[in-house]
Amino acid sequence: MGLRRGWVTDVPGISRTQQFTVLGAGVVPQQGVMGITILRERFGREEVCAEEAVQLLLDLDPAKRP
């Protein structure tokens, strides 16, 4: 998740459930980077902004096609 090792897991007295609660949606930025990286590779484009990435994803979804 981009955190240093033990950032949450080495806290004394915190349960696994509490660890997940503390982390929350912390992985979202890394997932976004991965998604845009995959889209760049798939479409052979060096630069893809967030708006273009969303449109490319929508275009891949047959349910969203006219």
DSSP 2-42: -SPTTTTTTSTT--HHHHHHHHTTTTHHHHHHHHHHHHHHH
Q: What range does the domain containing 57 cover?
A: 25-64
Whole-prediction pTM:
0.40
Q: How many domains does the chain have?
A: 1
Whether 35 is covered by a domain: the verdict is yes
Whether 56 is covered by a domain: the verdict is yes
The 10s digit of each residue's pLDDT in 9-64 is 888 898 988 888 878 767 677 777 888 788 778 777 667 677 777 777 677 655 65
Whether 32 is covered by a domain: the verdict is yes
Whether 4 is covered by a domain: the verdict is no
Whether 41 is covered by a domain: the verdict is yes
Whether 37 is covered by a domain: the verdict is yes
Q: Which residues are CB-contacts of 16 (< 8 A; sequence separation ≥ 6)?
A: none
Alpha-carbon distance of 24 to 53, in angstroms, equals 24
- Three-state DSSP class for residue 13: coil
Q: Report whether pLDDT(65) > 60.
A: no
Whether 13 is covered by a domain: the verdict is no
